Amino acid sequence: MSDSPQPYRVLARKYRPRNFRELIGQDAMVQTLGNAIRRGRLAHAFLMTGVRGVGKTSTARLIAKALNCIGEDGQGGPTIDPCGVCEPCRAIAEGRHIDVVEMDAASHTGVDDVREIIEAVRYAAVSARYKIYIIDEVHMLSKNAFNALLKTLEEPPAHVKFLFATTEVNKVPVTVLSRCQRFDLRRIPAELLATHFAHVVQAEQVAAEEDALALIAQAAEGSARDGLSILDQAIAHAEMGEGAPMVTAAQVREMLGLSDRAAVRRLLGLVLEGDTAALLSAVREQYALGVEPLALMRGLLELVHAVTLVKAGRDIANPGQSAEEREALAEWASEMGFAPLHRLWQLLLKGHEEVASAAFPIEACEMALLRVMHAASMPDPGEIARMLREGSLDAIPANGAVPASPASGAASLPKDVKAVVDLLWEQKKGRLADFLHDCVRVVRFYPPEIELQLTQDWSEGDFCRTLGMELQKATGSAWQVRRSEGSAAPSLLEQQQESQARERAGIFDTPVVKAVLAAFPEADLDRTEPWSAER
């Protein structure tokens, strides 16, 4: 009769740490425990707290092994490096040691369950050095259960140790916390997780791209168990080739509904450029590829945060970051100030909240990004206060001086349409300058963005495209020039004509001119240019 095949063990169970060397990301705790064991300063109760999957229960089991290990020769004492081969070590690892009792507080919440422990601690361990009680999710115990445990917890027999684990330490009474030695297990850094996953796939005889492991490590959010579960799913999702399965970054993104980093960078660029049609098209394109709207908002938040860190001078390089991404972050950080970055963050964060709770997530995502796009180009409160003091606030919709756009942050950009005309003349673009002066009405001027209307057609192609290209050549910044509806300021020529008309009317209204016209009704005013040494 052939042996039945061994049932498959998920990676999260198969690769649980068997000793403290395999417990990744918790070096400070391991050092403290090692020192306490070597010096014989062992607490009677330990509390492990941290987010899911960082190793709280695994640490409790390792402590149980460390305290009860007798070594390969059967003569050893407590050690931070249990042998793993003696009977206590093997029995604890297999969950069958009679003196190591594990209890799930979520299903044993009452005082009767705790009373059983209190009665049992009076008796010595059967075969181990210490009788150990591991209580998982200890915060789930009832108030009466905690109260019943307090006296025993404070003065337990010398042969008893309590090991508690919880994800919500704030729910554990202070009276219990004060009786325990507390260890806060940290989130495991993504770099350590990616390295750990690389060892796992090698042991599993599976091939995986570095970017794929980096994506899984980031999605794990500091949890080794979550990461191993995602890796398990990614291996199952991988296509079988001639050799081992190959886990690719593209497959991981598709599986997790993540957006490609390059696509997120393009989205942020479109938001900053103010290109409404292209932005909506890009959002729908990502949605059609299976990317969740919430993942898009989160990707944009992470990108703005990364730009801000670069702006602050912090090195955020990681193995999964491409050269293109580093270049884009550096460029945005150099062009944008802290104020617009903070405004972008707040607007995106608000949009993330709306998308998370929306009945129509993709529509909510589109509306949130449109709001971000338009609000990001508004002056900040300090700039508005300055403009109010200077009396220039009303000039913004037309062509008055405004602060540099958050998308560029460049103080050297022309501040109004007249400055653009002068710049074009300097660049020997007289026809373009004259047309801008005579035939263009400005709806919105916010460098490097211009929304305009034409009073007549430009005979040399697309005026907006031509103007944008020439301004980019002249200033080194990318300009967004487009036609727009709505109210617009008069063209510079129309403003000039209006000014001349007001001047003419004022002259006709003077007493001297009125007297001349009364004497000579057929007379008219002839404008004569002032003399100039250049003429």
Q: Do the domain assignments include residue 365?
A: yes
Task: Choose the final residue of a domain: 256, 281, 307.
Answer: 256
CATH code of 24's domain = 3.40.50.300
pTM comes to 0.58
Q: In this predicted model, what pLDDT tens digit does every residue of 341-372 receive, in sequence order?
A: 888 899 999 999 999 998 899 999 999 999 88
Expressed as residue numbers, the domain containing 369 is 264-375
Say yes or no: 317 and 230 in one domain.
Answer: no
Q: Do the domain assignments include residue 140?
A: yes
Q: Do the domain assignments include residue 347?
A: yes
Q: Do the domain assignments include residue 1?
A: no
Q: How far apart are CA 535 and CA 527, in angstroms?
A: 16
Say yes or no: 363 and 439 in one domain.
Answer: no
Say yes or no: 178 and 40 in one domain.
Answer: yes
* pLDDT for res 449: 86
Task: Choose the final residue of a domain: 226, 256, 286.
Answer: 256
Q: What is the DSSP letter of 139?
A: G
- For 357, 384, 468, 481, the CA distances from 340, given in Å and listed in that order, are 26, 14, 23, 21
E-only strand ranges, 167-229 = 181-184, 207-208
* pLDDT for res 362: 92
459-474 b/e with 16+ CB inside 10 Å = b?
Answer: eeeebbebbbebbeeb
Q: In this predicted model, what pLDDT tens digit does every residue of 472-512 receive, in sequence order?
A: 888 888 888 888 887 888 999 888 888 888 877 777 777 77
* pLDDT for res 510: 79
Say yes or no: 27 and 164 in one domain.
Answer: yes
Q: Do the domain assignments include residue 382?
A: no
Say yes or no: 165 and 25 in one domain.
Answer: yes
Q: How far apart are CA 383 and CA 368, in angstroms?
A: 24
* pLDDT for res 388: 58
Q: In this predicted model, what pLDDT tens digit does every residue of 419-450 receive, in sequence order?
A: 999 999 888 888 898 999 999 999 888 888 88
Say yes or no: 90 and 235 in one domain.
Answer: no
Q: Do the domain assignments include residue 57?
A: yes
Say yes or no: 161 and 87 in one domain.
Answer: yes
Say yes or no: 43 and 171 in one domain.
Answer: yes
Q: How far apart are CA 437 and CA 149, in angstroms?
A: 85
Say yes or no: 63 and 158 in one domain.
Answer: yes
Name the helix (H) or strand (E) containing 136. strand 131-136
**CA Rg, the chain, in Å?**
36
Say yes or no: 455 and 478 in one domain.
Answer: yes
Say yes or no: 498 and 460 in one domain.
Answer: no
CATH code of 241's domain = 1.10.8.60
* pLDDT for res 258: 65
Q: Do the domain assignments include residue 90?
A: yes
Q: How many domains is the chain built from?
A: 5
Say yes or no: 336 and 457 in one domain.
Answer: no
Q: Do the domain assignments include residue 385?
A: no
At residue 383 the predicted structure's pLDDT band, cuts being 50, 70 and 90, is: low
Whether residue 58 is predicted with pLDDT greater than 60 in this model: the reply is: yes
Higher pLDDT, 239 or 71: 71
Task: Choose the final residue of a domain: 219, 238, 256.
Answer: 256
| Pairing of β 207-208 and β 100-104 | unpaired
CATH code of 332's domain = 1.20.272.10
